[in-house]
Amino acid sequence: MIRLKAVALLALATVSPLAIAAAAAPDTVPGNVRQTKPATYSFTVGDAKVTALSDGTVPLDLHQILRGAPTQTIDGLLARSFLSYHTEASINAYLIDFNGRRILVDVGAGELFGPGNGGRLLDALAAVGAAPETITDILITHVHTDHSGGLTKAGKIVFPRATVYAGGADVRFFSDVTNAAKSGLEKHFWTETEKTLTPYVTAGRVKSIDANGEILPGIRAELHPGHTPGTAFYTLTSKGQSLVFVGDLIHSAAVQFPRPDVTITFDVRQDEARAVRQAAFKRFARDRALIAAPHLPFPGVGHIAADGSGYRWYPIEQTDREEKGNRLKL
Ligand SMILES: [Zn+2]
């Protein structure tokens, strides 16, 4: 989850705008431009074609939202990556064309973060010629607005033919507003679920996942409660190749790869989220797994390797050709 307004307001209340500008703009860091076209990037995993789709980016104040390490430590790790605590997070979604199905993994924030903050998924889908009515299945990693917000637009279902898969614990937790008071979390999680997921529940189009296993041919779901009660990883496997969609396992590469014990305020159960991240990084590094992470810089696809007491992120190489290994004639 990325929650924009609270973070921005908190930042303004505690740090002067000038201090933010100075900290956020070291002279080697390029400035911002609103992209005129949505970003997409396609690659293959066995017989599947996977397309990363950018829903946009949102500003995050890492001083306000990271937990478990002193501010100085966080600033030191950020400086090592040429970043400040005022950072920008990608919102990535993924399209899988495989076995005659057209599957989305997460759907971005939709309209719910306001203009200019996410909500570009439909433009990205149009750019690759994928009409919303051709989507057969949607795999929601967890029921937070930046992953399920795009399910509806102006209160209407955007993907009329799709079956929506989500962890059953999330569907139940975020559909019952009495859990707001019980958990101490802000009520907006529930009002947003009402706008986005509930129309699909009412239409009988949601399949709750309550056990690990294959949910579609070549796609396996694994439940990892922590970030939310029903957080799920989805693993696509074809011809010996795999890609794991990990949801909000990580928000800040600069901080949480070297320090996987650092959590974020959006982790509903902090201790479980920390344990899930530590175990998952260890496993992915050991298995040399390819992973897709919604909030790492677009396309958010790469490998994790052990590095000292922590880990490092290796983004995939970008290519623009079908053949492998042919040499450039010089
Ligand atoms: Zn998120």
DSSP single-letter state for residue 28: T
Question: Do 120 and 55 contact (CB within 8 A), yes or no?
Answer: yes
Token pair of 42, please?
């396609």
Question: Do 153 and 111 contact (CB within 8 A), yes or no?
Answer: yes
Query: Which has the closest alpha carbon to 285: 263, 318, 310?
Result: 310
What is the 325 CA–ligand 1 centroid distance (Å)? 36
CB atoms under 10 Å from CB of 278, counted, come to 13
Q: Which residues pair with 52 in a beta bridge?
A: 41, 94
Q: How far apart are CA 172 and CA 209, in angstroms?
A: 11
What is the 326 CA–ligand 1 centroid distance (Å)? 39
Note down pLDDT in tens along the chain; length 330 residues.
565 544 443 333 344 333 444 454 556 778 889 888 889 999 999 999 999 999 999 999 999 999 999 999 999 999 999 999 999 999 999 999 999 999 999 999 999 998 889 999 999 999 999 999 999 999 999 999 999 999 999 999 999 999 999 999 999 999 999 999 988 888 999 999 999 999 999 999 999 999 999 999 999 999 999 999 999 999 999 999 999 999 999 999 999 999 999 999 999 999 999 999 999 999 999 999 999 999 999 999 999 999 999 999 999 999 998 887 777 777
What is the 2 CA–ligand 1 centroid distance (Å)? 5
- SS percent in the chain: helix, strand, coil, step 5: 30, 30, 40
What is the 258 CA–ligand 1 centroid distance (Å)? 20
What is the 88 CA–ligand 1 centroid distance (Å)? 13
Token pair of 24, please?
């956020």
Q: Count CA within 13 A, CB hemisphere, residue 300.
A: 33
What is the 139 CA–ligand 1 centroid distance (Å)? 14
What is the 294 CA–ligand 1 centroid distance (Å)? 7
Q: How far apart are CA 143 and CA 128, in angstroms?
A: 26
Q: How far apart are CA 174 and CA 279, in angstroms?
A: 26
Q: Which residues pair with 96 in a beta bridge?
A: 50, 103
Question: Do 8 and 24 contact (CB within 8 A), yes or no?
Answer: no
What is the 259 CA–ligand 1 centroid distance (Å)? 19
What is the 227 CA–ligand 1 centroid distance (Å)? 9
Cite the DSSP H helix spans in 15-61.
17-24
Environment class of 160 (CB within 10 Å of its CB; exposed 0-12, middle 13-18, buried 19+): exposed
* Chain mean position to CA 73: 25
Domains of the chain with CATH codes: 4-27+39-315 (3.60.15.10)
What is the 239 CA–ligand 1 centroid distance (Å)? 30
What single-letter amino acid sits at 115?
A: P
What is the 242 CA–ligand 1 centroid distance (Å)? 22
Token pair of 47, please?
């017989």
Supply φ then ψ for residue 56, to 5 degrees. 120, -165
What is the 322 CA–ligand 1 centroid distance (Å)? 32
Question: Do 53 and 92 contact (CB within 8 A), yes or no?
Answer: yes
What is the 330 CA–ligand 1 centroid distance (Å)? 45
What is the 124 CA–ligand 1 centroid distance (Å)? 18
